[in-house]
Structure 1
Amino acid sequence: MSHAASAVKALAFDVFGTVVDWRGSVAREVAALARQHHIEVDALAFADAWRAGYAPAMDRVRTGELPWMHIDTLHHMILDSIVSQFGLQGLSDSEREHLNKAWHRLAPWPDTVAGLNALKKQFTITTLSNGNFSLLTAMAKNAGLPWDCIVSAELFKHYKPDPETYHGVASLLNLPIGQVMLCASHPSDLRAAKTQGMRTAYVMRPFEFGEHVPLPKVETGEFDFVAQDFVDLARQLAA
């Protein structure tokens, strides 16, 4: 076991994209709803447009333009802003609410559950996600995700990559921040965590944004670990 691995006591996981396939999952639900209404829709483009509104919406909260609100509320706000673009403005309030909860029902990547179970044998495993607590709880129940605990940005009233989120998860686990490793498919999240003193593991998710979107560039040695998936990460950590 490497020195970096031996120092780690807990693994904190980004969720959207790292643990679950948001794009494919949302697209399937949008396509099913569109079929019920006999509407043709580019479901993957819809999923991409919905996700594209995520960071700007959080920034509106950060700047004080919007009050603090959890991700379910932001997702609904973005949804309402894009339905007409895709010809789905006729959805009822109950249909929009059900579609908004698609983010509670995201499917895990094929390696996710087996990899998490392997990692759980050696480490405490937790979420560290901008998703709200109820969303992450429902997702875990639906997808069979074996978390030891669920940590949401909602608990800190700060979204990643705000420093309060990384220090917050370490504080809740009663561990020095250097004994917690963020596992994520997004280098920007990992870089922010590293700046605050966390260990880092980059997990490649080449299909998060579609097969034609290249993986982000990372520097050799930039993160403590680079893994193909969670099973590979478990192998590297000797879990």
Structure 2
Amino acid sequence: MHTPHVLAFDIFGTVVDWHGSVQREVQALYPAVDAGAFALAWRAGYQPAMARVRSGELGWTRIDALHRLILDGLLPRFGLDHLGETERQHLNRVWHRLDPWPDTVQGLTRLKTRFTLCTLSNGNIGLLTNMAKRAGLPWDCILSAEVFRAYKPDPRTYLGVAQTFDVAPADVMLVAAHQDDLAAARACGLATAYIERPFEFGAAQPKDVSPDPANTLHARDLLHLADLLGC
């Protein structure tokens, strides 16, 4: 295998447990709400919201603002339309407070000894920075759709990583728990590593984590990825 120079990481679901984190916080704040369903519904609005930007209906919009648009539309469905602006702002920033998976920090720390680590997320820079600070994520660089003004899977995001570090696309490996993200990266010439996150959508909705032979590597978690890459 050609050894990459840069590992670029998808964040939501791959590095951090968005569903469990949102569920726990909503449950603590609003015990009467079905917090698991709330987390799933909020995330379900993510792709349609980005599609509004891609279509030109909305101008370029950071994910924080898209999360807020989704949230405001969601609250009446869960009996929370009474929330005031301060409560809505606090709840919207739950995406800055997502908890890492148990293997994440140790796995990244090991990988960092050999590779340059960066984020490649649709999340905006402020969100990713706050998340990293809180969770102790040891990035060398934070890259975001905000930098490239394009959301994944736009080729500008994947190729933008290679351009940022002045390396060939083959010298970048995207690490993600989503096969569509990895397929788009491969189409741009990047190496790819799939990370199994069977409970990304909660324990009640385990997802298929079967290997795709098109990926360069397939790992159970980030510690296993470090093993595979000799860290």
Offset of residue 215 of structure 1: 2.8
Name the counterpart of 2:98. Answer: 106
Aligned equivalents of 2:185, 2:174: Cα separation in 1: 7
Question: Deviation digits for residues 108-142 of structure 1, max 9, x if unmatched?
Answer: 00000000000000000000000000000000000
2:165 is equivalent to residue 173 of structure 1:
yes
Residue type of the alignment partner of 1:127: T
SS of aligned partner of 2:194 = strand
Q: What is the alpha-carbon distance in structure 1 between the residues aligned to residue 209 and residue 106 of structure 2?
A: 27
The CA distance in 1 between the partners of 2:149 and 2:121, in whole Å, is 12
Which consecutive unaligned segments of at least 5 residues does structure 1 have?
A: none
Amino acid of the structure 2 residue aligned with 1:33: L
Contact in 2 for aligned 1:115/1:231 (Cα 8 Å): yes
Q: CA deviation at 1:218?
A: 5.0
| 4+ aligned runs moved over 3 Å, structure 1 | 216-220
| Contact 1:156 1:164 (C-alpha < 8 Å) held by counterparts | yes
SS of structure 2 residue aligned to 1:20: coil
Aligned partner of residue 202 in structure 1, secondary structure: strand
Aligned to 1:63: 55
The answer to whether the 8 A contact 1:129-1:153 is kept is: yes
Quick check: 1:119 aligned with 2:115?
Answer: no
| Overall identity of the aligned pairs, in % | 57
* 2:174 corresponds to which of 182, 186, 190: 182
Q: Which residue of structure 2 aligns with residue 32 of structure 1? A: 28
Match of 2:76 in 1: 84
Q: Please give the alpha-carbon distance, in whole angstroms, between the structure 2 residues aligned to 1:201 and 1:32.
A: 35
The aligned residue for residue 138 of structure 1 is: 130
In the alignment, structure 1 residue 147 sits paired with structure 2 residue 139: yes
In 1: Cα distance, 2:167 partner to 2:117 partner: 13
Cα distance in 2 between the residues matched to 1:42 and 1:109: 22
**What is the root-mean-square deviation in Å for CA atoms of aligned residues?**
1.1
Contact 2:211–2:218 under 8 Å retained in 1 = no
* Distance apart, 1:217 and its partner CA: 6.0
* Structure 2 residues without counterparts, runs of 5 or longer: none
Q: 1:227 aligns with which of 194, 212, 219?
A: 219
1:19 is matched with: 15
SS at structure 1 position matched to 2:142: coil
Amino acid at match of 1:59: A
TM-superposed CA distance for 1:169, in Å, is 1.1
AA matched with 2:64:
D
What is the letter of the counterpart of residue 32 of structure 1?
A: A
Given the superposition, is the C-alpha separation of residues 220 and 23 from structure 1 closer, same or farther in structure 2, using an over 3 Å criterion? closer
Partner AA of 2:124 in structure 1: N
SS in 1 for 2:40: helix
SS of residue matched to 2:92: helix
In the aligned structure 2, how far is the partner of 1:25 from the partner of 1:185?
Answer: 17
Aligned residues: 231
**Aligned partners of 2:209, 2:111: CA distance in 1, in Å?**
26
Partner of 1:128, secondary structure, is strand
| CA apart distance, 1:221 | 1.6
What amino acid does structure 1 have at the position aligned with 2:21? Answer: S
Query: Partners of 2:93 and 2:139 in 1: how far apart?
Result: 20
Conserved? CA contact 1:127–1:151, under 8 Å: yes
Structure 2 residue matching 1:11: 3-state secondary structure:
strand
Question: Per the alignment, do residues 144 and 202 of structure 1 end up closer, same or farther by CA in structure 2, a change over 3 Å counting?
Answer: same
TM-score (norm 1): 0.94
In structure 2, C-alpha distance between the alignment counterparts of 1:217 and 1:188, rounded to whole Å: 13
